[in-house]
Amino acid sequence: MSNSPLHSAPSATLTGWLFKWVRRIFPTPQAIALAALLILGFLGVAWLSDILMPVFAALVIAYLLEGLVTMLERWRIPRLVAVGGVFTAFIAALLFSLLALLPLLFHQFAQLVQQLPVMVTQGLALLNRLPELYPEFISQDQINELISAIRSELITGGQALLSYSYASLINIITIIIYVILVPVLVFLFLKDKQKLLSWFQQYLPRDIHLITQVWRNVDTQIGNYIRGKAIEILIVFLASYITFSLFRLNYALLLSVLVGLSVIIPYIGATAVTFPVLVVAYFQWNLTNTFWYVIIAYFVIQAIDAMLLVPILFSEVVNLHPIAIIVAVLFFGDLWGFWGVFFAIPLATLIEAVLSAWPRSHNHSAINQYHY
């Protein structure tokens, strides 16, 4: 019979094992509250990211500027005055980027796009010479297939670029709104920080020591990481720009910005940005001594960044395994695109802080108590 003890005993034992397993994962009410808060936050970002992107961007910028405001407050400067000074400096930097830096970058990018057909023609001519130089390794048929594939990809890429350009023209009003709205939100987040935190805390459980512990760990780790990363980007950008300018490499500013921003994505960024540097340098000088000098200087900058800057700036910050960093970049990049890649390491740091602070049950033998 189905209600016999022989049939009901395994079911009851399995239910008891599952209950003990859940109790071991969520041993305290604080752990349940933290898990619920994380799930709600993740779902809110996933579902509302398109609508509330200006708010998220303003929150991130306000978080970055809060460190400067706090530093000024330590010097006994009133918070409102500190917020006004930091916000004014932020607006000045934003205007400089929009009015001075971006036009130069767009100008160099337009020049590079105009030169792409010439580079492609020279590259195809070089490919056609390979069967003559190395007939034992490659044939003309293989070269023809490769050239056909490249041309097909170029046509597809050109159509995608035209579609993107048309879409960007359609969204230009949205971009203008973001440029106006985000600074306003940043100022309000900075000015009314305590009011907003008090309003948010009234919806949290009374005992939030676990949430507070996780936030303190995340705040310290991410704050130090972002400050170190900002310094690293600036140093790598300046070193690259000075080096490229001394050699008079074409599109020096554009390439230097790419090299500087590449440090945001460890391992992957440096690998990806090497290709445009090599291509531009090759089509400017071919395999001359100047080409090799530029490439050597570029790899010296990368080596100094990896072996000197990173150990100094991040010796006690974001102690994540390289595999965890790569997985985080791939996962969050696929989930949220550019912003997922940009915030992959801070999000991985949040996960690491949660796992480190998560309460452990003293009953580690719960799994072994299940018997058929």
pLDDT at 259: 93
| Spatial contact of 190 and 86, defined as CB atoms under 8 Å apart | yes
pLDDT confidence tier of residue 286, bands split at 50, 70 and 90: confident
Q: What tokens appear for 272 in the block? A: 């990806």
- Global pTM value: 0.69
pLDDT at 91: 93
Of 3-7, 55-59, 259-263, 321-325, which gets the smallest average pLDDT? Answer: 3-7
The residue ranking higher by pLDDT, 80 or 20, is: 80
Question: Does the pLDDT of residue 354 top 90, yes or no?
Answer: no
Q: Is 214 helix (H, G, I), strand (E, B) or coil?
A: helix
Q: What tokens appear for 363 in the block? A: 């009953």
The residue ranking higher by pLDDT, 276 or 134, is: 276
First to last CA, the chain: 19
Question: Does the pLDDT of residue 131 top 80, yes or no?
Answer: no
pLDDT at 364: 46
- Measured between alpha carbons, how far is residue 164 from residues 33, 160, 168 in Å? 43, 6, 6
- Measured between alpha carbons, how far is residue 149 from residues 70, 119, 155, 200 in Å? 56, 17, 10, 55
Question: Does the pLDDT of residue 368 top 60, yes or no?
Answer: no
Cα(105)–Cα(67) distance, integer angstroms: 29
